[in-house]
Amino acid sequence: MSTLLIEGGHRLQGRVAVEGNKNAALPLLAACLLTEDECVLENVPRIGDVEVMARLLLDVGAEVDGIGSTTLRIRTPKVTTHEPDRALVGRLRGSVLLLGPLLARVGRAQIAPPGGDFPARRSIATHLEALLHMGARQGGSGDYLLEAPDGLVGASMYLYEASVTGTETALLAAAAARGVTEIRHAAMEPHVVELCEFLQKMGADISGIGSSTIRVEGAKRLGGARHTLGGDYIEAGSWAVVGAITGGEIDIEGARESEIEVVAAVLKRMNVQCGMRDGVFEVKPSSPKSVRRITTGLWPAFPSDLISLVTVLATQAEGRTLVHDWMYELRLFALEQMSGMGADMFLADAHRIIVTGPTRLRGGRVLDSRDLRSGMSLIAAGLAADGQTRVQPLETVERGYSRLVERLEGLGAKVAKVE
């Protein structure tokens, strides 16, 4: 286990480039199992979650070249097992995305309960229902066991929840199913769009991309494809908060303007001087102010993945802000640790926290990064605090942020990774 040692109080400045969208990389990697041909993915983020997914592909028989780099080449002439390694599955919620491709290739799929952030609170019922609609049968194992010996069949379905990975599970299965599938109440996030575009390159006929109703005509045979991932707007938003909370000046490359605007809208309401210019998202020295309420929502509303970071930013904003994440329980719980740093926070319930600022944060604490996004938020708090802060385990944060220590140092942060 590693700890990030942070000497706070330093103004960060410089330029940072984001890599490909983490939430697009995982379903695209799963899609590569749908064909015997070679697929090439470029601008892949060099993060822990991608490495775990790549090793899951290896475990079921794929050939994967380039692990640890930004270009991956995947070829799966034969799937050798329908049951991916339990330990790897237990580390990654995105492992659920293997269900559809395994059913399509070998007619059987079995995975242990997926891991990731808040595994006990995040159901995969939507994913299973989608596959059952397409003819899969559920077995009686303690794991998630599905069988489709006669292949998957297109179906008309309404998703009870507009789940991102649920929609992606349905899309992966539908691309290889016989006939037409219509998915209503589909998620519309950019990473869902990116998966649709990749499946089109592989030969699936898809319409309604980017809308809540997606129609997929499965291909008799899916082929290989090459795709360059778009920049990760969640990562870009994270660096924007890091710049704002330290009074810094950061230029962020790689994010699409149409995606980063959902983040910029909230930051601008908080009086953060930011905006896109010539393809670069700029954050200038600012004096943050509170806003009455910040609420998460489905795309194109403010993303839940950034709610912890703007909550930390609110501790340095003048006035009182109600932060409401209705999508997930427990995401805000980890921020209670900041009360010991001098933050004025009141946790109203599992979904709402009231923050009053600005408060001078004090270091000298060991902070527990209980999930990926809260971990990055606590690092931001440590960068803004007086004195020294420790955040651990750093590996939790490195699941979603590539070369984190190196890039923080490049912006002028005083940090060190301690084993």
Same fold, 3-18+231-418 and 22-228: yes
19-28, 66-75, 310-319, 358-367, range with the lowest pLDDT: 358-367
9-18, 54-63, 242-251, 363-372, range with the lowest pLDDT: 363-372
> Helix (H, G, I), strand (E, B), or coil: what is residue 385?
coil
For residue 116, pLDDT beyond 70: no
Strands across the sheet containing 144-147 = 108-111, 144-147, 137-138
For residue 120, pLDDT beyond 60: no
Q: What is the mean pLDDT of the chain?
A: 95
pLDDT bin (cut points 50, 70, 90) of residue 119 is very low
Structure pTM?
0.95
pLDDT at residue 117, as a whole number: 57
Q: pLDDT tens across 246-279, in order?
A: 999 999 999 999 999 999 999 999 999 999 999 9
pLDDT at residue 115, as a whole number: 79
d(CA 242, CA 11): 10
Task: Kindly give, in sequence order, each residue whose CB lies less than 8 Å from that of residue 183, ignoring residues fewer than 6 positions away.
Answer: 130, 157, 159, 167, 170, 171, 174, 213, 214, 215, 216
Q: pLDDT tens across 166-223, in order?
A: 999 999 999 999 999 999 999 999 999 999 999 999 999 999 999 999 999 999 999 9
Q: pLDDT tens across 58-74, in order?
A: 999 999 999 999 999 99
d(CA 356, CA 320): 4
* % of the chain beyond a pLDDT of 70: 98
For residue 162, pLDDT beyond 90: yes
What residue ranges do the domains of the chain occupy?
A: 3-18+231-418, 22-228
E strands, 218-373, are 226-228, 249-253, 274-277, 280-283, 293-295, 319-324, 344-347, 352-357, 366-368
Contact 352, 323 (CB under 8 A): yes
d(CA 221, CA 29): 18
Q: What is the CATH number of domain 3-18+231-418?
A: 3.65.10.10
pLDDT at residue 139, as a whole number: 83
pLDDT at residue 122, as a whole number: 62
CA 402 to centroid of chain Cα atoms: 13
The arrangement of secondary structure in 22-228, i.e. its CATH architecture, is Alpha-beta prism (3.65)
CB burial class (10 A; 0-12, 13-18, 19+) of residue 10?
middle
Catalytic positions, written as ranges: 117
pLDDT bin (cut points 50, 70, 90) of residue 165 is very high
